[in-house]
Amino acid sequence: MEKSKNLQAFLDMIAVSELGYEVIGGSDNGYNVLVGSTPDNILLFGSYDDHPRIHNVSLNSDAAGRYQIMSKTFDGYNDRAWKDGTFSPEMQDMYAITLIKECRALDAINQGAIEYAVPMVASRWASLPGNSYGQHKQIIHDLLSWYMEAGGKLWSV
């Protein structure tokens, strides 16, 4: 799937929001990261053949990859639409884009209306402001900064 510059920047912003620059830099661009990783202790999985399904007991999560995808969610999409079965970087991107489309935020992202798009997808990523996961949420100023650092353009009137 061809990604616009704004969509790629938005995906990069989500990855930084979920993982942080240090974790991304210590991994395969975030695609092989397990939940619970910190800059001092980056937890990685070794194969993209399938979701790693490694449960972090203290966080009660098996989220993995650049966008911290849960295995049950991945399985639901894989069974219904993808049929690929792998947890490759391409499939992780496809998953994230699918969630963005389901939230009807793709047009806003492509237009650069990021302050509008973030709340639209906040229910899908725990680190975004506006979700109800009860985890630490990033602030919109930081998200916009990360988005622009990744080459995204903001909509202007």
Torsion 34-126-11-154 (CA) sign: negative
pLDDT at 135 over 90: no
Q: What percent of the chain has pLDDT over 70?
A: 92
Residue with tokens 């490694």: 54
Of 25, 33, 38, 129, which Cα lies nearest the Cα of 89?
33
Give 3's strand partners. Answer: none
- What is the set of domains in the chain, with CATH numbers? 5-149 (1.10.530.10)
pLDDT (mean) for 52-67: 95
pLDDT digits (tens, 9 = 90+) for 1-41: 578 999 999 999 999 999 999 999 999 999 999 999 999 99
pLDDT digits (tens, 9 = 90+) for 73-91: 888 876 555 566 789 999 8
Residue with tokens 């799937």: 1
Q: How confident is the model at residue 124 (pLDDT cuts 50, 70, 90)?
A: very high
Active site residues: 18
What is the token pair recorded at 154?
């903001």
Q: Quote the pLDDT of residue 85.
A: 74
